[in-house]
């Protein structure tokens, strides 16, 4: 399924109508099933679906690593796409204990949640062994803008990227849903065995608490965004030890929590413990 489609439309300019056309992102229902049991249905952009399957499974806490998924199939149907996974034991039995079927809107960020306590959980504390410069954040922002191919065509999707000063831009993923883009990025990273602790993530959306929880699932120490955070996101990042950067624009950014990881002078990226 093509993630971008061109449709005909009518364009109004200077009080007159004319025939036009526009590239727009595709959106389709994507179902996550584990060992034959439905878990969630998300509305998403149909690309990088293997990354989506693995990343979603990790950030939801269903698996700890890609190796916990014994088989993964992407099944295209007339009404949507099924990401069909088979879990190894004992995860398969644990999954059936927490089974929940949920239909989510575009980028629904809290899936399979059955209690207020689970929704409001604070992630495990983030390790504290790296530091970055303001220039690193700006380079990541510039790299992301240049590589968002779907957004360049449609101006309607979110992006998520992972940046390492040693390697540059490691991975970038796009989706109509901001949570989906981050899940796809997490999937891309864990599938190539990249360590979340060795770099930072940048997203093109606002920062809500689910974004903090998803990034923390693989130990990402710094999460940056082009838009503003919610108050709960700031509190959660603070409690988890994550550095939260927001309002990242061409002229700079704002740091909301744990600013010690952003150094004006970059000498070493490894901070003595």
- How many residues are present in the chain? 273
- What is the rounded CA–CA span in Å between residue 169 and residue 200? 10
Q: Is the dihedral angle over the CA atoms 108, 76, 161, 69 positive or is it negative? A: positive
Query: Is 47 a catalytic site residue?
Result: no
Longest dimension (CA), the chain: 66
- What is the rounded CA–CA span in Å between residue 25 and residue 257? 34
Which are the contacts of 247, defined by CB distance < 8 A and separation ≥ 6? Answer: 225, 226, 227, 228, 253, 254
Which are the contacts of 170, defined by CB distance < 8 A and separation ≥ 6? Answer: 161, 162, 163, 164, 189, 194, 199
For residues 181 and 175, is the Cβ–Cβ distance under 8 A? yes
Cβ-based neighbour number of residue 9 at 10 Å = 10
Cβ-based neighbour number of residue 97 at 10 Å = 6
Q: CB-based burial of residue 270 (10 Å sphere; 0-12 exposed, 13-18 middle, 19+ buried)?
A: exposed
- From 31, 47, 62, 108, the catalytic residue: 108
User: Which residues are designated catalytic?
Assistant: 108
């Amino acid at each position: 399924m093509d993630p971008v489609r061109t449709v005909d439309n009518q364009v109004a300019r200077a009080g007159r109508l004319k025939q036009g056309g526009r590239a727009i992102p595709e959106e389709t229902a994507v179902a996550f099933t584990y060992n034959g049991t439905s878990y969630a249905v998300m509305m998403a952009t149909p690309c990088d679906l293997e990354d989506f399957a693995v990343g979603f499974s990790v950030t939801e806490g269903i698996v700890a690593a890609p190796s916990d998924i014994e088989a993964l199939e992407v099944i295209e149907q007339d009404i949507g796409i099924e990401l069909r996974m088979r879990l190894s034991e004992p995860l398969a039995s644990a999954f059936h204990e927490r089974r929940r079927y949920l239909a989510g809107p575009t980028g629904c960020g809290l899936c399979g949640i059955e209690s207020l306590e689970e929704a409001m959980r604070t992630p495990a504390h983030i390790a504290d062994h790296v530091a970055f410069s303001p220039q690193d954040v700006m380079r990541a922002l510039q790299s992301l803008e240049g590589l968002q191919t779907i957004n360049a065509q449609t101006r309607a999707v979110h992006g998520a990227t992972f940046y390492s000063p040693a390697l540059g831009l490691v991975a970038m993923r796009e989706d109509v849903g901001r949570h989906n883009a981050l899940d796809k990025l997490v999937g891309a990273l864990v599938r190539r065995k990249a360590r979340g602790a060795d770099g930072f993530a940048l997203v093109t959306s606002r920062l809500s608490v689910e974004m903090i929880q998803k990034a923390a699932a693989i130990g990402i120490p710094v999460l940056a965004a082009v838009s503003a955070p919610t108050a709960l996101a700031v509190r959660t990042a603070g409690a988890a030890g994550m550095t939260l950067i927001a309002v990242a624009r061409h002229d700079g950014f704002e740091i909301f929590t744990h600013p010690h990881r952003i150094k004006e002078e970059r000498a070493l990226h490894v901070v003595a413990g």
